[in-house]
Amino acid sequence: MSEEVFPDIHRIEVPLPRNPLKAINSYVVRGRDRFLVVDTGMNRPECLDVMRASLESLSVDLSRTDFFITHGHSDHIGLVSALRTARSHIFVNPVEAVRLLDPDLWNGLAAAARTHGFPDPEAAIDTHPGRRYLFSERAHFTHLQEGDVLPLGKYTFQCVATPGHTPGHLCLYEAEAKILLSGDHILDTITPNISGWGREGDPLGEFLESLDKIAAYDIKLILPGHRNLILDHRRRIGELKEHHRRRIREVIGILGREGQTAYQAASRMTWDIDCARWEDFPIPQKWFATGEALAHLLHLERGGRVKKNWREGKAYFSR
């Protein structure tokens, strides 16, 4: 259930039942007198059972354990309230903390869904795994951000801000070991979901800039939030950038002069999902697909390549 992937760093593969991601990688760093858990899994019994058994097998003392959360999605932070103790610190970027503790977060996302053409935004929110499997109790966070240092045992981790997947996404970089705990910023075999929901500006542009930022680092091994470890970060960064170049071309080809909502554009894009028709997509997958379509549309709008017009309270994008 766990494996040592680097000296004193163990990976726990936490299952995500009935989720296309299949599992999340949680990492345990062993220090001299404390432990650090990087990301946790969803607030689900299946995740908690695996986490508790794995931590016990590693002789992790939760009373001497802190938590580093790369970003505020439920598969990364969901179990933190079940695992923390009164002596735990929960490290998170303040940008993520503000979003997580915002009482209007989900109402705002439902409003954005309505704006961008989702036919039943309330249903989309109610079935969203990010809402269903988030932590059960409000947490007190200790803020870390770009340039902050987190020493533990033989390692000195530096926080690296990588906005894109979420506005406050943080990675951990260890310069001497040349390792990066990348959360969902860089993944192998799958692409991070870049979503425009509830966001101002250009989340895809931020993500691409963050990729270039990490490309400049000297890295021998990436420990990502899902799937395989990555040995060649610049190769993978190049692949991710090419993926989004193809996506941009696809979206431009889909748009017509009359304009489409993000939901309409998403329904015509190609997706790696085992469904023959858009109508067969589960609602959560429609949510993620529409959010990604929106991120590309906002990026194209920022670059002056598409226009946005408003009709009856909905946003339509056109060439």
Tens of pLDDT, residues 3-17: 999 999 999 999 999
Q: Which CATH number covers residue 140?
A: 3.60.15.10
pLDDT score of 273 more than 90 = no
Lowest-pLDDT range of 78-82, 134-138, 245-249: 134-138
Percent of the chain with pLDDT over 70: 97
Q: What is the band of 246 on the pLDDT scale with cuts at 50, 70, 90?
A: very high
DSSP label at 63? Answer: G
* Identity of residue 228: N
Q: What is the band of 207 on the pLDDT scale with cuts at 50, 70, 90?
A: very high
Q: At a CB cut-off of 8 Å and minimum separation 6, what does 211 contact?
A: 164, 185, 186, 237, 240, 241
Encode burial over 166-175: b for 16+ CB neighbours within 10 A, e otherwise: bbbbbbbbbe
- The residue among 100, 50, 51, 106 whose CA lies nearest residue 74 is 100
pLDDT score of 152 more than 90 = yes
Write out the residue range of the structural domain in which residue 110 sits.
2-318
**How many domains is the chain partitioned into structurally?**
1
pLDDT of res. 19: 86
Rounded CA gap, 144 and 137, in Å? 21
Single pTM value for the model? 0.95
Mean pLDDT over 165-173 rounds to 97
Supply the mean pLDDT for the chain: 93
CB 38 within 8 A of CB 44: no
Lowest-pLDDT range of 249-258, 287-296, 302-311: 249-258
